[in-house]
Amino acid sequence: MAALRAELARHRQFLPRQQDPPTLIRRIADLGAGTGLRINLLRPQSEQRSELYAEMPIALELQGPYHAVGLFLDRLAAWPGLIQVNQLDMRAAGRMTRCLATAFSYLGKDEAGVGPVAAPAGFGYDPQGRRDPMEPLVKEARLPKHASRWNVSA
């Protein structure tokens, strides 16, 4: 039984106590702005509760470059606690990204000494020097005035 309690305490450290919706929304909005995204929609949906945890889904519509979205998702994943991103839909037209971010929080009795901690270090997203795949590869090509389309030597 003691081993099960220790295992539960170890897993519980990734689920913070109940989230404050206005604070969570403000943090997500600040994160989006900090990564260079425009947030067109940030709509909390109804909280779903189970015996031990609660899920708070938040619909997001982001506008910005591909790598800014990658950086946003990477930083969101690095937050303390557990946030899951589903229904990711990226469109090149208008550089629009829609997704559903779900924040999980613990509802049960808290044990002494167990609190939220940062997620373990893992892959970090670095967009430096990468091409934005939502941009066309070739922009309108123009030849210099003195060049001919057919380079024919006499």
Q: Break the chain into its structural domains and give their ranges.
A: 2-106
Q: What is the pLDDT of residue 148?
A: 56
What integer best gives the mean pLDDT of the chain?
Answer: 76
Structure tokens at 62: 């982001």
Above 90 in pLDDT, residue 104? no
123 or 20, greater pLDDT: 20
**In 3D, which of 18, 22, 14 has the Cα closest to residue 83?**
14
The verdict on pTM exceeding 0.85 is no
Above 60 in pLDDT, residue 89? yes
Structure tokens at 154: 């006499």
Helix (H, G, I), strand (E, B) or coil at 91: strand
Say yes or no: domain 2-106 is CATH 3.30.70.60. yes
Q: What is the pLDDT of residue 87?
A: 94
Above 80 in pLDDT, residue 114? no
Question: How far apart are the C-alpha atoms of 98 and 41, rounded to whole Å?
Answer: 9
Question: How far apart are the C-alpha atoms of 13 and 70, rounded to whole Å?
Answer: 26
Structure tokens at 16: 């913070």
User: How much is the average pLDDT of 62-90?
Assistant: 89
* Residue the block writes with tokens 């609660």: 54
Those residues with Cβ within 8 angstroms of residue 136's Cβ, 6 or more apart along the chain or in another chain: none
| Host H or E run for residue 52 | none
User: How much is the average pLDDT of 125-142?
Assistant: 65
95: left (phi over 0), alpha (psi -120 to 50) or beta: left
Q: What is the pLDDT of residue 112?
A: 31
